[in-house]
Chains A and B, each alone.
Chain A
Amino acid sequence: MTWRPTTLNLSLATLLGWALLLGVLGGRAELIVAAVPLVVALAAGRRPRPAAADWQVARHVSRDRLVEGERVTVTVTLRASGRREVVELYQPLPPHVRLAEGRHHAFVVAGEHREVRWSFELSCAGRQRLRLGDLHLRRWEPLGLAAAESVDHAISDVSVYPHVTPLRRPPSPARTQTYVGHHVSPAQGEGIEPGDIRPFVPGDQVRHVNWRATLRLGALHVTQHHRERNADVVLLLDTLADVGPPGDSAVDRAVRGAASLAAAYLARKDRVGLIEYGGILRQVRPAAGRAHWERLLDTLARASVVFTYVARDLERIPPRVLPPQALVIALSPLLDGRFLGAATDLAARGFDLLLVAVSPIAAARALAGGGAVTDLAARLWALERRAELDQLRARGLTIIDWDGVEPLEAALAVWQRPRQRRVRA
């Protein structure tokens, strides 16, 4: 720590100069005498200060993972071996983080091996990778005439995950995979979902005999069943463009929807993958399980708009990330035509594509504020958007319109895939 004089020295010197000048010019002893306390104060600021004490600073963050809107408590512990003195502590806050309780700037008394604890609570408005960086510590000369500053370079990372809304009935996929899951497969086999009835053949199990049909038809008949299988679901998130206030923009709402869908499918033993389609093409290959859920949340927490002129080609994404049999759910505010082109291309290549159009209008209005002109513009935008979605539906795309405010389940409820039953002989 290096001691440096502060600007207070200049202020004291200014008044000292005035007192001496006026005293000499006016020939008054009072003004000369008035300069003496100023000289003493300046001299006190220059006296030798104790060497740097043995400082121990530790910062503890109560949680390293939280959901947006939740709070995290930051506790700073300070211990010093020197004499007691006033110490200033300052923790700069990252963007989009607000102070929920306490202060992130404090003056405490440290020294004589006394342990000082200082804590405050932070609230994170939106999903992000929160990084608490340098902690500034400043020792002050008692009058404020000199200060010595040091920085603790410890870094604390906190992942702020998007809010997840439970979905009871996520969109069912058209095609299923080979592992056991919750989706009724068109293929016959072992399962609990009844299918067609056919005559008994040697080898059929007695417990599959349909006695009612047997009595009516006069011959043994068995009930066939559909297999319950899992599915591959790939979430395609559009991060080419965004609009809205930080923490509640159109992309933020799309990310919340993606997290809710991922949670619902993973709970059904499906494999879920993620492609962030934006300036940076991030990919998470489909998998299942708790660890994969954390991986998806980490990727979603980092999803952000990175400006680019390049239109990414989804053909370059390997099949292990975008399996041909997967249900692709694209979430987009439809602000950039390049994403629409990519989604249309996927549908044309035979992918089972469902486009969730997250309306950016509410987010844009939240940013623009109220007013008659804003209302008119929002209504015109809504009309244009509706016409655009109708055109896309006419092209054969399956589109669910979601305003990002109402529960995603309510938006998904209006669309149900016709049940596919096919029993192979």
Chain B
Amino acid sequence: MTAALAATALMALLAGVGPALSPWPGVSALGLIAFLVGGAGTLARIVPLATAGGALALIGYALALGAEQPASHPLAGVAIGAGLVLLLVLTHLAARTGGAAFEPAAARLLLWSWAPVLAVGVLAASALVIAGALVAAALRGASLPAVVAIATLGAVVAAAGVTALVTAAGRPAP
């Protein structure tokens, strides 16, 4: 139950990021829907619902960024990415441990196991930000189509890598 409540709180934070950036009613409505859908998923321990809530929160955040066009804050992106990972992992944990006896030692061990993954994620994102800044400096004189092409290539490579990772093994466990 603790994991489900923590995931719900995290869902509320993620859903609130977009409305906090932009006062546009559409973003607020999307944030509310994201919280309702994702909160239902975290409380009912249904991972696909929590995923939908996270995706809606991400869309709301993107809309807010598009509407307000604030200065770039890569750290906010890192926090949102880590928050999304934690949201899904906590909801999945709550779903598989529902009704089971859970040793406190197991909870401690899990937290200790998650910490390095999150740390690596934050470091990788920071490295990407630095690399991006370097690439931006290198492409300062380049034309717009070249920048878009390089960005698309990067996205396609990332998507292909993830697809390869996910589909490499057999069918998912129940």
Q: Mark each residue of chain A from 349 to 382: 1 if its CB lies under 8 Å from any CB of chain B, else 0.
A: 0000000000000000000000000000000000
Of A28, A40, A106, A144, the contact of B101 (CB 8 Å cutoff): A106
- Per the bound structure, the CA–CA distance linking A140 and B109 in Å amounts to 12
Of A6, A37, A43, A108, the contact of B173 (CB 8 Å cutoff): A6
Which residues on the B side are within 8 Å of A14 (C-beta)? Answer: 51, 55
Which residues on the B side are within 8 Å of A42 (C-beta)? Answer: 162, 165-166
Q: Choose, from B4-12, B23-31, B111-119, the stretch at the interface.
A: B111-119
Determine whether A13 belongs to the interface, using a CB cutoff of 8 Å to chain B: yes
Query: Given contacts A22-B58, A46-B165, is CB(A30)–CB(B88) below 8 Å?
Result: no
Determine whether A149 belongs to the interface, using a CB cutoff of 8 Å to chain B: yes
Q: Choose, from A82-90, A279-287, A404-412, the stretch at the interface.
A: A82-90
Interface residues of B (CB under 8 A from A): 47-48, 50-51, 54-55, 58-59, 61-62, 65-66, 72-74, 76-78, 80-82, 84-85, 88-89, 92-93, 96-97, 99-103, 105-106, 109-110, 113-114, 117-118, 120-122, 124-125, 128-129, 132, 151-152, 155, 158-159, 161-163, 165-166, 168-173
Flag if A36 contacts B124 (CB, 8 Å).
yes
Flag if B73 contacts A30 (CB, 8 Å).
yes
Flag if B100 contacts A107 (CB, 8 Å).
yes
- Tell me the smallest distance from the CB of B93 to a CB of chain A, in Å: 6
Chain A contributes a number of interface residues (CB within 8 A of B) equal to 64
Flag if B100 contacts A103 (CB, 8 Å).
yes
Label chain B's interface by main secondary structure.
Answer: helix
Query: Given contacts A35-B158, A37-B121, is CB(A144)–CB(B100) below 8 Å?
Result: no
- Tell me the smallest distance from the CB of B94 to a CB of chain A, in Å: 10
Of B47, B51, B74, B113, the contact of A30 (CB 8 Å cutoff): B74
- Tell me the smallest distance from the CB of A148 to a CB of chain B, in Å: 8
Which residues on the A side are within 8 Å of B100 (C-beta)? Answer: 88, 90, 103, 105-107
Determine whether A254 belongs to the interface, using a CB cutoff of 8 Å to chain B: no
Which residues on the A side are within 8 Å of B162 (C-beta)? Answer: 13, 16-17, 39, 42
Of A26, A143, A146, the contact of B62 (CB 8 Å cutoff): A26
Flag if A149 contacts B173 (CB, 8 Å).
yes
Query: Given contacts A3-B169, A12-B85, is CB(A39)–CB(B109) below 8 Å?
Result: no
Which residues on the B side are within 8 Å of A143 (C-beta)? Answer: 89, 113-114, 117
Determine whether A397 belongs to the interface, using a CB cutoff of 8 Å to chain B: no
Label chain A's interface by main secondary structure.
Answer: helix
Query: Given contacts A6-B92, A143-B117, is CB(A31)–CB(B65) below 8 Å?
Result: yes
Flag if B166 contacts A36 (CB, 8 Å).
no
- Tell me the smallest distance from the CB of B136 to a CB of chain A, in Å: 9
Flag if A4 contacts B96 (CB, 8 Å).
no
Flag if B77 contacts A15 (CB, 8 Å).
no
Query: Given contacts A107-B102, A143-B117, is CB(A11)–CB(B81) below 8 Å?
Result: no
Determine whether A33 belongs to the interface, using a CB cutoff of 8 Å to chain B: yes
- Per the bound structure, the CA–CA distance linking A84 and B172 in Å amounts to 24
- Tell me the smallest distance from the CB of A368 to a CB of chain B, in Å: 31
Which residues on the A side are within 8 Å of B72 (C-beta)? Answer: 28-30
Interface residues of A (CB under 8 A from B): 2-26, 28-46, 84-86, 88, 90, 102-103, 105-109, 118, 140, 142-144, 146-147, 149
- Per the bound structure, the CA–CA distance linking A338 and B117 in Å amounts to 71
- Tell me the smallest distance from the CB of B95 to a CB of chain A, in Å: 9
Of A12, A41, A109, the contact of B105 (CB 8 Å cutoff): A109
Query: Given contacts A107-B102, A108-B106, A142-B113, is CB(A20)–CB(B155) below 8 Å?
Result: yes
Give 17 CB contacts A-B under 8 Å. A3-B169, A7-B47, A9-B166, A15-B51, A18-B55, A18-B59, A19-B81, A23-B155, A31-B62, A33-B125, A37-B124, A41-B121, A43-B165, A44-B117, A45-B165, A88-B96, A106-B102
- Per the bound structure, the CA–CA distance linking A39 and B158 in Å amounts to 8
- Per the bound structure, the CA–CA distance linking A43 and B172 in Å amounts to 16
- Per the bound structure, the CA–CA distance linking A184 and B63 in Å amounts to 99
- Tell me the smallest distance from the CB of B86 to a CB of chain A, in Å: 9
CB-based nearest B residue for A28 = B65
Flag if A11 contacts B47 (CB, 8 Å).
yes
- Per the bound structure, the CA–CA distance linking A44 and B119 in Å amounts to 12
Which residues on the A side are within 8 Å of B80 (C-beta)? Answer: 30, 34
| Most chain B beta-carbon contacts within 10 A, residue among A15, A20, A33 | A33
Which residues on the B side are within 8 Å of A41 (C-beta)? Answer: 85, 89, 117, 121
Of A11, A32, A118, A140, the contact of B128 (CB 8 Å cutoff): A32
- Per the bound structure, the CA–CA distance linking A88 and B122 in Å amounts to 30
- Tell me the smallest distance from the CB of A20 to a CB of chain B, in Å: 5
Flag if A34 contacts B78 (CB, 8 Å).
yes
Which residues on the B side are within 8 Å of A28 (C-beta)? Answer: 62, 65-66, 72
Which residues on the A side are within 8 Å of B132 (C-beta)? Answer: 29, 32
Flag if A86 contacts B96 (CB, 8 Å).
no
Query: Given contacts A10-B166, A33-B77, is CB(A102)–CB(B117) below 8 Å?
Result: no
Of B66, B84, B166, the contact of A15 (CB 8 Å cutoff): B84
Query: Given contacts A5-B166, A6-B173, A41-B85, is CB(A109)–CB(B76) below 8 Å?
Result: no
Flag if A6 contacts B172 (CB, 8 Å).
yes
Flag if A35 contacts B106 (CB, 8 Å).
no
Flag if B51 contacts A32 (CB, 8 Å).
no
Flag if A40 contacts B84 (CB, 8 Å).
no
- Per the bound structure, the CA–CA distance linking A4 and B173 in Å amounts to 6
| Most chain B beta-carbon contacts within 10 A, residue among A12, A42, A105 | A12
**Besides A40-B121, A41-B85, 10 other A-B contacts (C-beta < 8 A):** A6-B173, A14-B51, A26-B66, A32-B77, A33-B78, A36-B128, A37-B124, A39-B158, A103-B99, A105-B101
